[in-house]
Amino acid sequence: MSTFDGKVIVITGAAGGIGKVTAQKLAEQGAKLVLVDLNLEAVQQVVSELGLDSECAVALQANVANEEEVKAYVDAAVAKFGKIDGFFNNAGIEGTTANIEDYPTETFDLVMSVNVKGTFLGLKYVIPVMKKQGYGSIVNTASGAGLMGTPGFVGYNSSKHALIGMTRVAAQETAPFGVRVNAVAPGVINTRMMRQIEKNTVPGDVEGAQKAFGAAVPMGRYGEAAEVANVAVFLLSDEASYVSQSIYTVDGGQLGQ
Ligand SMILES: NC(=O)c1ccc[n+]([C@@H]2O[C@H](COP(=O)([O-])OP(=O)(O)OC[C@H]3O[C@@H](n4cnc5c(N)ncnc54)[C@H](O)[C@@H]3O)[C@@H](O)[C@H]2O)c1
């Protein structure tokens, strides 16, 4: 028997670098998946690339910052599979790179809306399902930027700090009901998001930006999406049955410096 046989896991941002690899690892271990993303075509592509049939997975479009759409994906998950055992609350955007005085207010609002409100809404609608079941594991995707200052990233940084607090509140509110809530805090990970951040940070020298980001990590390299997925999968599993309110850095040692 595989670790996730009979388990139903919802993933947001499932078409992205980290979401997709996490979906793959969970599917390999027998999970049934509800894959949610803003980009429907991309998330449908994930389902077909992973070779998952409609018994095993469903791809849904939702903007995580829209309350009706969040309620709809949670209702759809329960309607299809009858329960939600795990929730990878992972969708997020990077915003732009600028010092505070130059940071566009509309970008700040957008990043807060997707990263903070989107994560909050996911919790708001998934938690009642899990409390009723008396069982569940939630993993929020925070960031190393939620645990230290990262100049030039006021929107992203503030949003990810908020997710650390939200994780702690949610963990305490749900622990008596058999629900665990943790966060992963990735460092620099090789996905579309870092490609965009490299461009935003040093527009004329993406390669130089990449080298500098990598060199700032004690391990001297970017992490891979699979290295984050491994930790998320552990936290979603019963192997982590006594783990709640923890923030797992996955950053090659960057935060501890
Ligand atoms: N890549 C990194 O270096 C890094 C580091 C720390 C934290 N993270 C976090 O990891 C998570 C996943 O990022 P990734 O690296 O896989 O990036 P990614 O850009 O590859 O994936 C993000 C996914 O989220 C989806 N998304 C964006 N806005 C959405 C919305 N409003 N509603 C629904 N879906 C939406 C996108 O379509 C995309 O598929 C994010 O929360 C990100 O902040 C990434």
Is residue 222 flagged as an active site residue?
no
* Mean pLDDT for the stretch of residues 129-153: 98
Nearest alpha carbon, ligand 1 atom 21: 16
Residue 215's CB: how many other CB atoms inside 10 A?
9
The three-class DSSP label of residue 139 is: strand
Task: Give the closest residue to 190 by CA, choosing from 164, 216, 210.
Answer: 210
Q: How far apart are CA 77 and CA 80, in angstroms?
A: 5
Task: Give residue 241's pLDDT band: very low, low, confident or very high (50, 70, 90).
Answer: very high
Nearest alpha carbon, ligand 1 atom 25: 13
* pLDDT tens readout for residues 191-203: 999 999 999 998 8
pTM given for the model: 0.98
Contact indicator for 163, 142 with CB cutoff of 8 Å = yes
**Residue 256 pLDDT greater than 90, yes or no:** no
Question: Residue 179: what pLDDT?
Answer: 99
Question: Residue 229: what pLDDT?
Answer: 98
* Mean pLDDT for the stretch of residues 111-132: 99
Question: Residue 152: what pLDDT?
Answer: 97
Percent of the chain with pLDDT over 90: 97
Question: Residue 26: what pLDDT?
Answer: 98
Catalytic residue among 73, 125, 156, 248: 156
Nearest alpha carbon, ligand 1 atom 19: 193
Q: How far apart are CA 206 and CA 79, in angstroms?
A: 45
Give me the helix-helix angle, 118-133 and 67-81, nearest 10°: 30
* pLDDT tens readout for residues 218-235: 999 999 999 999 999 999
Q: How far apart are CA 119 and CA 90, in angstroms?
A: 8
* Mean pLDDT for the stretch of residues 119-145: 98
Task: Give residue 1's pLDDT band: very low, low, confident or very high (50, 70, 90).
Answer: confident
Strand order in the sheet with 8-12: 57-61, 32-37, 8-12, 86-89, 136-141, 179-186, 247-250
**Residue 69 pLDDT greater than 80, yes or no:** yes
Average pLDDT over all residues of the chain: 97
**Residue 246 pLDDT greater than 90, yes or no:** yes
Give the residue carrying structure tokens 């979603």: 236
Q: How far apart are CA 150 and CA 198, in angstroms?
A: 14
Give the residue carrying structure tokens 């997707």: 114
Give the residue carrying structure tokens 């998946």: 33
Which residues sit with their C-beta closer than 6 Å to ligand 1? Answer: 12-13, 15-19, 37-39, 62-65, 90-93, 114, 118, 141, 143, 186, 188-189, 191-194
Q: Which of 20, 113, 119, 193 to mutate to test the pocket of ligand 1 (most atoms within 8 A of CB)?
A: 193
Q: Which of 38, 167, 201 to mutate to test the pocket of ligand 1 (most atoms within 8 A of CB)?
A: 38
Task: Give residue 2's pLDDT band: very low, low, confident or very high (50, 70, 90).
Answer: confident
CATH of 8-250, one of 3.90.550.10, 3.30.300.30, 3.20.20.70, 3.40.50.720: 3.40.50.720
Q: How far is the centre of ligand 1, averaged over its atoms, from the C-alpha of 136 (Å)?
A: 23
